Amino acid sequence: MGNALPPWSSGPDPRERSAPQHSQIWASPGRAGGQGSDAVWAWPPPVARRPRTVEPPPGVPYHRMARTETHRWWKPPLTLGLAVLLVLGMTVFTLVVVELVKAIQRIPEDVELFGDPVADLAVNLLALALMIPAVMVAVRVVQKRRIGSLASVEGRLRWPWLLRCAVVATVSVAVSFGILSVLYLLSEPGEPLFGEYVGARRFALAVVVVVLLVPFQAAAEEYALRGFLMQMVGAYGSTSYGDRRPGPVAVVNRVLASPVPAILVSGLVFTVMHDYSGWATAEVALFGLAMAWLVWYTGGLEAAITLHVAHNVVAFVLSAYEGLPDPSGSIGSWQGVVATALQLGLFCLVVVWMARRARVRRTTPDPHAALPPPPGGETAGPGHDHG
């Protein structure tokens, strides 16, 4: 601010000797332009309100945004615990509703949740989408951060950037599934690419569910496992990236402050959460690690969300063509790993190129840098008053 408030009056005005010495004058500040000695100020001074949210320091990368001035070592685990409890609570509530529906409709206990694969898919996608409000509430309540800090270093989803990434994601997924088909035709010429068609009605209904809900499911996994989890891990370690002091503690701090632990933990948890084995596990691990790296590089979730949505929409639509078989325990194939690796390579290369050309922000901005200059184009110092 630079301008110090006028000193408080230490006694009554000498022109008003008749006023009792113990009386207190309550008034509003004097009008602008008046003499400082004639200005009457309110008493007591207004109490400064504590900000409802805390901001990360300027110039920090995405994975370090949870390390604010109010950071304490116990806050990330507490935030994680609250998020897990919220997800469990909402999941239990959803299951209770499902059981009530089954009881009302007299659906046998040994069949799927609703006795229909499409309805089961809808419930599962909605259950995963609940991670979005869970992590947002946890971050806001425990860490006092704006929920937009989960989206990007700018504190929001950068929609123009997201839409540009969506175009690249669509092309990358189309190319990768085309390559996958060619690999299967070349390596297994006698095998069909798809299973038996489930029928137009059931296929159309499943496609509607996929198109409506998969974007929320994919975005939820990005918010929880790439955004929330990376920032929880990245909150630890020294904040001084140029610290070269010798000693094991300094080395550990620098490692924790780097994006490597956050990327590895995010990729590992993402892989474990998918009940796959064999080649399918390798495919998921590649995807998780690549998207975590891209989130760090671009300073936000936008690129990862678009590729995750595009990939899952195509995968679920192809599964819907066959009647939505249960993917649990899938072992995948080497063809799938190759196609996914090419998909990730193409997408990351193009997105990095676009991010450099567009100068996409990778670190948190300085809020004071955007402030307009004071009237007259001068900067007020601590001892200067432009009033």
Instruction: Read off the pLDDT of residues 331-353 as tens digits, 9 standing for 90 and up.
Output: 889 999 999 999 999 999 999 99
Identify which of 332, 315, 316, 328 has the alpha carbon closest to the alpha carbon of residue 275: 328
Question: What number is the average pLDDT over the span 164-192?
Answer: 94
| DSSP per residue, 223-277 | IIIIIIHHHHHHTSS-S-TT----SHHHHHHHHHHSHHHHHHHHHHHHHHTS---
Q: Is the pLDDT of residue 316 over 90?
A: yes
The 10s digit of each residue's pLDDT in 276-308 is 889 999 999 999 999 999 999 999 999 999 999
Q: Copy the structure tokens of residue 293.
A: 């790296």
Residue 352 · residue 303 · CB < 8 Å:
no
Return the residue matching tokens 């390798």: 282
Q: Which of 39-43, 133-137, 266-270, 298-302 has the lowest mean pLDDT?
A: 39-43
Per-residue model confidence (pLDDT) at position 372: 55
Indicate the average pLDDT of the chain: 84
pLDDT on residue 136: 98
Which pLDDT score is estimated for 110?
58
Which two structure tokens, joined as six digits, stand for 116? 């229909």
- Six-digit token string for 185: 């035709």
Q: Which two tokens stand for residue 153?
A: 């270093």
Q: In the predicted model, is pLDDT for residue 311 greater than 70?
A: yes
pLDDT in tens, 231-262: 999 999 876 544 556 678 888 888 999 999 99
- What pLDDT is stored for residue 54 in this prediction? 93
CB atoms within 10 A of CB 219: 23
* Percent of the chain residues topping a pLDDT of 90: 60
Structure tokens at 28: 């509003």
Residue-wise burial string across 278-315, b where 16 or more C-beta atoms lie within 10 A, e elsewhere: ebbbbbbbbbbbbbbbbbbbbbbbbbbbbbbbbbbbbe
Report residue 125 as tokens.
């996608």
Q: What is the model's pLDDT at position 44? A: 64
Which span out of 12-26, 49-63, 212-226 was modeled with the highest average pLDDT? 212-226
The pLDDT of residue 194 is 82
Residue 363 forms beta bridges with which residues?
A: 61
Has residue 86 got a pLDDT over 50? yes
Is the pLDDT at 30 greater than 70? The verdict is no
**Is 221 or 23 the better-scoring residue by pLDDT?**
221
Cβ(296)–Cβ(230) under 8 Å?
yes
CB atoms within 10 A of CB 149: 25
